[in-house]
Amino acid sequence: MTFQSLIIGVAGLIAIAIGWVLALGDVPPLRLTIPYLIGSALLTIYSLINWNLVFLILNGAATALSAMNLVR
């Protein structure tokens, strides 16, 4: 991974995180939360296996957010 691609990846990560923060007040429906939780957990494992740090952080956060939405 080059430094330029890392910067682009981190910028995308920050943009998505800002979008999540802005949407935190809305609780998504369960029919969206469960597939999103499963998908983000699988992508977290995939990112770990391939050691892609940007996607590991992004998908790990998506998994955590989906898990929190299950109990909200």
End-to-end CA distance of the chain: 38
pLDDT tens digits, 43-70: 999 999 999 999 999 999 999 988 988 8
Tokens found for residue 31: 């029919």
Q: What pTM, to 2 d.p., does this model score?
A: 0.78
Q: Which residues of 14-40 are buried (b: 16+ CB within 10 A; e: fewer)?
A: eeeeeeeeeeeeeeeeeeebeebbeeb
User: 1-42 pLDDT, tens per residue?
Assistant: 788 888 988 888 888 888 777 777 777 888 888 888 899 999
